[in-house]
Chains A and B, each alone.
Chain A
Amino acid sequence: MERKTEVNAENGKQELVITREFDLPLELLFKAYTEPGIIEQWMGTKVLKLENKKHGIYQFETSDAQGNVVFRANGVIPEFVPNQKITRTFEMENTPFSVQLEFLEFEKLTDSTSKLTMQSVFKSVELRDQLLKLPFAKGINMAHNRLQEIVGKLK
């Protein structure tokens, strides 16, 4: 079975590796990570700051429908090599999560396909496992909210 996005989180290791092959030339895949307007579209987050260079910094911010900021992340970029790699720290502000280190590697497969390997290194195995469970917890929350909405209408 074809699974385009793979997540590899080995037991007991404080890292996870996400890989994905794209039907996109390498340059376009890299562009999706460096153009603020494009990042905003696919990540669904606002790019407050992004310096695409060695020792640059970045800051992302996500708001809910009411305009309240629900998520803010920032980091520094120790390595930036166009069409090859971006190494960056990733910190979610106002959360118990410690800073992560992300290694993004961009590879050309053919003229029209490319591959991304994203290795995230965490402070501890426990923090990694907690992060993996976030979307699951969020999914439960959303289902719960929807339920409340429906019940609210019944009143």
Chain B
Amino acid sequence: MNLRRDVYQAIADPTRRAILVLVASQSMTAGAIASNFDTARPTVSKHLQILTECELLEQEQKGREVYYHLNPERIKEVADFIEPFRKMWDDRFNKLETIMKEYQSKK
């Protein structure tokens, strides 16, 4: 499974954007977040998982409960449009890696 997810893909989904807006005001448990949506609980969990993988949300253990809160730095990064720049270099370096692996195997 590819865990490297595109952050823009993550915020392209309306439910996920709604979750970010909801959590922006205060940290919340998965249950509390899910109660704001008509969507099935596992679907909300999936959205939370994606947002956490993209580091837009962070998990925090408080007693027996896990709270979700925004990762302001990551949000800011997206707002600053750094992500396309990072993606550009990531693509270049992926290419470099592929080319050099072929080069290595030819030797």
Contact = CB atoms under 8 A, between A and B. Distances in A.
A134 interface: yes
Interface stretch (A20-28, A71-79, A93-101): A20-28
Interface in A7-52: 7, 9, 18, 20, 22-25, 28-29, 31-32, 38, 41-43
Contacts of B94: 4
Main secondary structure on B side of the interface with A = helix
A133 B89 CA distance: 13
A37 to B, nearest CB: 10
Given A20-B93, A133-B81, A1 B100 contact: no
Interface of A: 1-7, 9, 18, 20, 22-25, 28-29, 31-32, 38, 41-43, 116, 129, 131-136, 139
Interface of B: 3-5, 53-55, 80-82, 84-90, 92-97, 99-101, 103-104
